Amino acid sequence: MDDRIVVSRDDCSGCETCIDLCPRDCFHLDPKNIAVYTSTRCRDCYHCIASCPEAAISHRDLPVEDFQLIADSLNPDYKDGDQTHSFLKSIRSTRNFLEKPIELEIMEKLIDVTRYSPTGHHSQNVELTLVSEPKTIQQLKDVSAETIVSFLKKIDNPFYRFLAHLVGKGKTIRKAQKTRHRFVRMLEGFQEGTDYLFHGAPAVVVFHSNKDGTTPGDNCNIAATYLSILANNYGLGTCFIGYLTYYAKYNPDIRDILKIPKDNQIYQVLIVGYPKHEFRTFVSRDQPKINLV
């Protein structure tokens, strides 16, 4: 029997909020109009505890501090849609950084917030690797350069292209050829000492997850977005680094340097640091492509 969720019979008013909110129908009212938790289907979302108006529901094993009142942490006017809209519009990719380290307390908050991003089936399966050692960042750049060299060798080789075509990978190779100049630019940058991969950022955050888990890529992308938004709110800048995710697919050395567990895949990478420049204006963007049906 699952008795982790405890309803205080003295405090329950029978308002049915838990019954309405539980996504797994774990609650019902007993004949005395008291909520009863009976299910083994609980997915640990804790909507019941977070919403009970009488604070009648608790968790047997988890610390009460985890369930502190939201109102104690947030200003009453924090929900300002217009401000949030403008703030989100103002976030740009940062590719120029100050030589200023990120404070430990801020880094801890950035990591902490990823625990609260939604995950499919509440799987909570996002894992983070934080790289801030210059030596490790350099190793990643060196291995990325090797990856580009071997990659260019392949796409420039007519025999390899023919083979790829035979095994149904022709489209992938054609796409890679179209973007060849980007890889060449990055490689030349490495050779000349310009960092087109991490743009000189002091920290790289790698989001990975067990590839056989529930929605691992989506969960990593959402967690990275949470971290990015919070970082920008702390005055930091961020940029997604799809290139490293891409190189990691082809070169296992990247996983080894990052000590990524065997069954995990890298799904997202973010660079973080204090921006050297401020953006003064919003930017123009395509109109949304939206169908109203």
Ligand X SMILES: Cc1cc2nc3c(=O)[nH]c(=O)nc-3n(C[C@H](O)[C@H](O)[C@H](O)COP(=O)(O)O)c2cc1C
Q: Which residues bind ligand X (CB under 6 A)?
A: 92-93, 95, 239-243
In the bound complex, what is the minimum distance in angstroms from residue 4's beta carbon to ligand X? 38
Instruction: Please state the closest distance from residue 279 (CB atom) to ligand X, in A.
Output: 8
Indicate the residue among 92 and 276 with the shorter CB distance to ligand X.
92
Q: Which is nearer to ligand X, 160 or 240 (CB)?
A: 240
Q: What single DSSP character describes residue 67? A: G
Confirm if 173 and 142 have CB atoms less than 8 A apart.
Answer: no
Q: Which stretches of the chain are DSSP H helices?
A: 17-21, 47-51, 81-90, 104-113, 134-155, 158-166, 170-178, 180-192, 216-233, 242-250, 252-258
Pick the closer one to ligand X by CB: 68 or 93. 93
Contact 206, 271 (CB under 8 A): no
Query: If 0-12 CB within 10 Å is exposed, 13-18 middle and 19+ buried, where does residue 225 land?
Result: middle
Where do we find the tokens 């995990």? 264
Q: Is 54 buried (19+), middle (13-18) or exposed (0-12) by CB count in 10 A?
A: middle
Are the CB atoms for 186 and 243 separated by under 8 Å? yes
Task: Please state the closest distance from residue 106 (CB atom) to ligand X, in A.
Answer: 21
Least distance between ligand X and beta carbon 242 (Å): 3
**Which residue's beta carbon is nearest to the bound ligand X?**
242
Closest CA to 242 of 215, 224, 216, 260: 224
- Which CB, 58 or 245, lies closer to ligand X? 245
For ligand X, the closer of residues 213 and 237 by Cβ is: 237
CB of 194 to ligand X, least distance (A): 12
In the complex, least distance from residue 246 CB atom to ligand X, rounded to whole angstroms = 8
Name the residue nearer to ligand X (CB basis): 46 or 240: 240
